[in-house]
């Protein structure tokens, strides 16, 4: 407790102010995760929540860490920072089509055992998205972690999933669902210039390389 008091005096805020800021950050994380279907949350967004009324530049890190602890102990979520992976074609990085997520961003991952999560938390209405995500990641993984867009759609067409299909009976707009995997950082897109022109590749991104596939809506 003494150490906590020392931290608060360092930031010149009271315990009540600290608790309020932590609560605001947690609410933002939970609601934004639900609203954006699990897309990563920029650290900058959380920082702005803290600094709109406080100017100490070290305060956001302290508040985010406090929120991380409470998310784990109270809500059963891990607040995981995504380590931005670079396109494999480093010379083409500047042409890379990215999701717009900055270098530091977060997702929340359930810490519940898989069987408990499936029984009490998992939304059956999104299970088809989890299945699609697993299939796409498996295809890219079996291709060595990177696959040309044309080759990916060739594999998906064998399962009845077509790029131009905007009214799939389960997935709806198939191309948009694939793009969502980029926004959620399961995949990243990379444009590569070659002798035959520009080719678009899909590569495994942070969330496909780190931990189980969870298409959470919080």
State the 10-residue block means of pLDDT for the chain, 218 residues long: 61 87 91 81 92 88 94 88 66 44 76 74 71 89 91 91 89 92 91 86 87 51
Domain that holds residue 186: 123-217
User: Quick one: 165 exposed, middle or buried, by C-beta within 10 A (0-12, 13-18, 19+)?
Assistant: middle
Q: Judge if 109 and 161 occupy the same domain.
A: no
Distance separating alpha carbons of residues 157 and 36, to the nearest angstrom: 28
The pLDDT tens digits of the residues spanning 137-159 come to: 989 988 888 999 999 999 999 88
Q: Judge if 65 and 158 occupy the same domain.
A: no
Q: Judge if 128 and 79 occupy the same domain.
A: no
Q: Judge if 18 and 109 occupy the same domain.
A: yes
Report how far apart, in Å, the C-alpha atoms of 38 and of each of 68, 77, 167, 195 are.
17, 13, 23, 38
Q: Judge if 156 and 197 occupy the same domain.
A: yes
Q: Judge if 72 and 133 occupy the same domain.
A: no
pLDDT score recorded for residue 92: 47
Torsional sign, CA 98, 100, 104, 106: negative
């Amino acid at each position: 407790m003494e150490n906590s008091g020392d931290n608060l005096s360092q930031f010149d805020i009271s315990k009540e102010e600290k608790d309020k800021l932590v609560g605001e950050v947690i609410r933002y994380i939970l609601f934004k995760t639900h609203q954006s279907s699990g897309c990563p949350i920029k650290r900058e967004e959380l920082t702005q929540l803290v600094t709109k009324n406080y100017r100490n530049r070290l305060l956001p890190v302290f508040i985010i860490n406090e929120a991380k602890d409470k998310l784990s102990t109270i809500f059963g979520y891990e607040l995981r920072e995504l380590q931005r992976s670079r396109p494999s074609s480093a010379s083409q990085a500047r042409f890379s089509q990215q999701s717009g997520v900055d270098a530091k961003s977060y997702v929340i991952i359930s810490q519940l055992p898989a069987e408990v999560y499936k029984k009490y938390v998992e939304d059956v209405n999104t299970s088809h998205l989890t299945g699609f995500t697993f299939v796409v990641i498996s295809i890219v993984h079996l291709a060595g972690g990177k696959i040309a867009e044309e080759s990916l759609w060739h594999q998906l067409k064998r399962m009845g999933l077509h790029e131009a299909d905007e009214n799939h009976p389960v997935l709806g707009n198939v191309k948009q669902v694939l793009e969502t995997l980029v926004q959620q950082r399961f995949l990243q897109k990379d444009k590569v210039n070659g002798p035959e022109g520009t080719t678009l590749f899909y590569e495994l991104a942070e969330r496909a390389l780190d931990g189980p596939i969870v298409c959470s809506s919080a």
